[in-house]
Amino acid sequence: MKIEYLSKGKPKQLIDHKGKLFESGINKQMTNELEVSTGMITGDDVANHDFHGGRDRVLCVYPFEHYQNWKTEFGKTLIQPAFGENLTVAGLRENEICIGDQLQIGSVLAEVSQGRYPCVTINRHTGIDQLLARIIETGYTGYFLRILKPGTIRKQDSISIVNRTASVTVADIHHTFFHNRKDTDAIRKILQIQTLAEDWKKKFEKLLERT
């Protein structure tokens, strides 16, 4: 488990590959450290607070290994960070990390709260119209952390899983919601996870009502 790089940035006006303007916080820049509180990262923000940010989504993490997968598939080297993530990490992919896992990263204690619900902004930022669909198909979404103990994260800091209370991975959550929506046993198991972000609990409660 290793930090490849850290990133932060404020929302700004961007131009997509079709020449259209959009506002987003996805275009972040690499930095040497992150000052993290329970509600935000200093010098970092999102454009739409209805669907992004909040205490369940303070730190966005994306696995470094996926960059090579996308390069191989699309024949294009993506800008880094391409997904608006704050931490780009190796050795912590979606199928290797569980909801509720507590991570010690520098002086910060964080907890995995949810997988990322990807949106079309990813296509607009990378210039690849097929990328969002492939992220949903593969589950290469990245995930979010809430902050249990604020502090500072530096690029050279180590990452360790200090507590694991559930056995449901970020990949399991994604697969159930997007690809196995009628599996009521899996949905009920997910809803028993106390540390799952409230937004995702509501998604699965609605899903269970429809099955």
Domain ranges for the chain: 2-166
pLDDT in tens, 108-127: 999 999 999 989 999 999 99
Q: Whose structure tokens read 């569980």?
A: 98
- Answering whether pTM is above 0.85, one says yes
* Mean pLDDT computed over every residue of the chain: 94
Residue 50 confidence (pLDDT): 63
Tell me what pLDDT residue 24 has.
Answer: 87
Give me the mean pLDDT over the 46-73 stretch: 87
- Look at 24-28, 148-152, 157-161 and tell me which has the smallest mean pLDDT: 24-28
Model pLDDT, residue 166: 81
**Would you list the DSSP string of the chain?**
-EEEEEEE---EEEE-TTS-EEEES---EEESEEEE-SS-BTT---S-TTTS-STT-SEEEEETHHHHHHHHHHS-PPPSS-S--SEEEES--TTT-BTT-EEEETTEEEEEEEE----THHHHHHT-TTHHHHHHHHT---EEEEEEE-EEEETT-BEEEEE-----BHHHHHHHHHH-TT-HHHHHHHHT-TTS-HHHHHHHHHHHHH-
Which CATH superfamily includes the segment(s) 2-166?
PK beta-barrel domain-like (2.40.33.20)
Mind listing the pLDDT tens digit for each residue in 3-28?
999 999 998 898 989 999 998 889 99
